[in-house]
């Protein structure tokens, strides 16, 4: 156990003075995560990346949204929050961490939608999120001589401007997660828990749906099923908006990757991540707008 982790654990009332077993958890692309076992209790300690504020993450807003998710019964309990140490401790949620193929299964997707809608229908709470503002900020912050963008970037910006014009503004803001990777879902005893509320804030529920479709590699029939599960029916206008936000999601991920190349100290191939999402954005846009 390193000194940073030990200092945080020493400040947690449930763990102070007790024997704990700490193991690192893999899979994080921004933060460092640790599994803590203390008797029969299990927790997850997350220490935020040093420069993660440049990604638009407000840790106090994240804490508030995580608490709202717990109150809604779809997120783990947060037992400690130490903003000065960039640390948050939540109860460990047992179950199966989902993959894209899992989320596309009708039964699992229904449970994902049930959890997501429960959060969307709650109070708006703290923080706001706009994918288009976020993408522009990521691009501006990542634009350095040492980090040249690929030549396709100009075409990508023209397409994104078209997406933004067509999408317009949402009818009203809803509390949203805004980072619905399959790995942020845990399925346990007929319920899907949603983890990692870093990017949460009031926004467009269709971004959550499009983001889910993008990260889950949904086919058209999966998108139609998602809308039917969420709204009880599938309207052409809703399908179009979901697909526009799916494009915006891939552009967000691309710009996120380019910015992470500049600021992250984790060992991860952010360049390939960024280029893969940019390529996916351009190919899908070509099919939608041709």
Taking phi first (over 0 means left), then psi (-120 to 50 degrees means alpha), and beta for anything else, what does residue 192 get? beta
* Cα–Cα nearest to 32, from 105, 88, 115: 88
Residue-wise pLDDT tens digits, 122-168: 999 899 999 999 999 999 999 887 777 999 999 999 999 999 999 99
Residue 117's pLDDT is: 97
Last residue in a domain, options 91, 116, 144: 91
One domain for residues 83 and 113: no
Domains identified in the chain, total number: 2
Q: What is the DSSP letter of 104?
A: T
CATH number (domain holding residue 184)? 3.90.1200.10
* pLDDT score of 51 more than 90: no
Same domain, 215 and 115: yes
| pLDDT computed for residue 1 by the predictor | 63
Q: Which residue has the higher pLDDT, 154 or 266?
A: 154
Query: pLDDT band for position 265 (50/70/90)?
Result: confident
Report the alpha-carbon distance of residue 55 to residue 138 in Å, rounded.
7
Higher-confidence residue: 15 or 107? 107
Q: Is 20 exposed, middle or buried, given 0-12, 13-18 or 19+ CB atoms closer than 10 A?
A: middle
Please, what sign has the CA dihedral across residues 51, 56, 59, 65? negative
Q: What is the mean pLDDT of residues 268-274?
A: 95
| pLDDT (0 to 100) of residue 166 | 96
- Looking at the structure, do residues 128 and 230 belong to the same domain, yes or no? yes
Query: Which has the minimum average pLDDT: 15-19, 226-230, 235-239, 254-258?
Result: 15-19
How many other CB atoms sit within 10 Å of the CB of residue 149? 17
Mean pLDDT of the chain: 94
In 10 A of CB 164, how many CB atoms? 18
The model's pLDDT over 3-43, given as tens digits with 9 standing for 90+, comes to 888 888 888 888 878 899 999 987 777 888 999 999 999 99
168 backbone φψ class: left, alpha, beta (φ>0; ψ -120 to 50)? left
Q: Going by C-beta distance under 8 Å and a sequence separation of 6 or more, which residues neighbour residue 91?
A: 41, 42, 43, 44, 76, 77, 79
The verdict on 83 and 105 lying in the same domain is: no
State whether 85 and 117 are in the same domain.
no
Q: Which residues of 76-111 are buried (b: 16+ CB within 10 A; e: fewer)?
A: bebbbbeeeebbbbbbebeeeebeeebbbeeebbeb
70 and 106 together in one domain: no
Measured CA to CA, the distance from residue 45 to residue 199 in angstroms comes to 18
User: Are 231 and 194 in a shared domain?
Assistant: yes
Question: In the predicted model, what is the mean pLDDT of residues 252-265?
Answer: 94
Rounded to 10 deg, the angle between the 153-167 and 270-289 helix axes is 60
What pLDDT was estimated at residue 18? 84
The alpha carbon dihedral of 229, 235, 238, 242 has a sign of: positive
Which of 65, 91, 117 finishes a domain? 91
Output the pTM of the full model. 0.94
Query: Look-up: residue for tokens 């709650």?
Result: 122
Exposure string for 223-239, b = 16+ CB within 10 A, e = fewer: bebbbebbeeebeeebe
Measured CA to CA, the distance from residue 128 to residue 173 in angstroms comes to 9
Query: 74 and 122 in one domain?
Result: no
> Can you give the residue range of the structural domain that contains 218?
96-289
Least Cα distance to 262 among 152, 145, 178 occurs for 145
282 and 245 fall within a common domain: yes
Domain boundary among 68, 91, 114: 91
Q: What is the 3-state secondary structure (H, E, C) of 37-72?
A: EECCEEEEEEECCCCHHHHCCCHHHHHHHHHHHHHC
For position 195, what pLDDT does the model report?
97
The residue-averaged pLDDT of 212-231 equals 98
């Amino acid at each position: 156990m390193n000194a940073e982790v030990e200092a945080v654990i020493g400040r947690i009332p449930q763990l102070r003075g007790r024997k704990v077993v700490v193991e690192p958890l893999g899979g994080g692309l921004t933060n460092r995560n640790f599994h803590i076992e203390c008797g029969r209790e299990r927790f997850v300690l997350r220490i935020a990346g040093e420069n993660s504020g440049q990604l638009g993450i407000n840790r106090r807003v994240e804490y508030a949204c995580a608490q709202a998710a717990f109150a809604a019964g779809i997120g783990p309990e947060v037992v400690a929050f130490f903003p000065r140490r960039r640390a948050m401790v939540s109860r460990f949620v047992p179950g199966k961490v989902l993959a894209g193929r899992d989320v596309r299964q009708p039964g699992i997707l229904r449970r994902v939608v049930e959890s997501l809608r429960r959060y969307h229908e709650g109070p708006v709470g703290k923080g706001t999120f706009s994918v288009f503002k976020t993408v522009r900020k990521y691009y501006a912050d990542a634009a350095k001589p040492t980090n040249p963008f690929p030549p396709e970037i100009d075409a990508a910006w023209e397409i994104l401007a078209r997406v933004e014009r067509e999408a317009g503004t949402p009818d009203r803001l809803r509390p949203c997660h805004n980072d619905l990777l399959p790995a942020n879902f845990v399925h346990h005893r007929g319920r899907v828990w949603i983890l990692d509320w870093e990017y949460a804030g009031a926004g467009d529920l269709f971004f959550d749906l499009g983001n889910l479709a993008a990260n889950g590699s949904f086919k058209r029939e999966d998108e139609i099923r998602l809308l039917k599960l969420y709204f009880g029916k599938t309207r052409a206008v809703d399908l179009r908006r979901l697909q526009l936000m799916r494009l915006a999601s891939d552009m967000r991920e691309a710009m996120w990757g380019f910015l992470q190349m500049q600021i992250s100290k984790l060992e991860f191939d952010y360049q390939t991540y960024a280029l893969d999402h940019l390529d996916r954005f351009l190919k899908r846009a070509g099919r939608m707008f041709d």
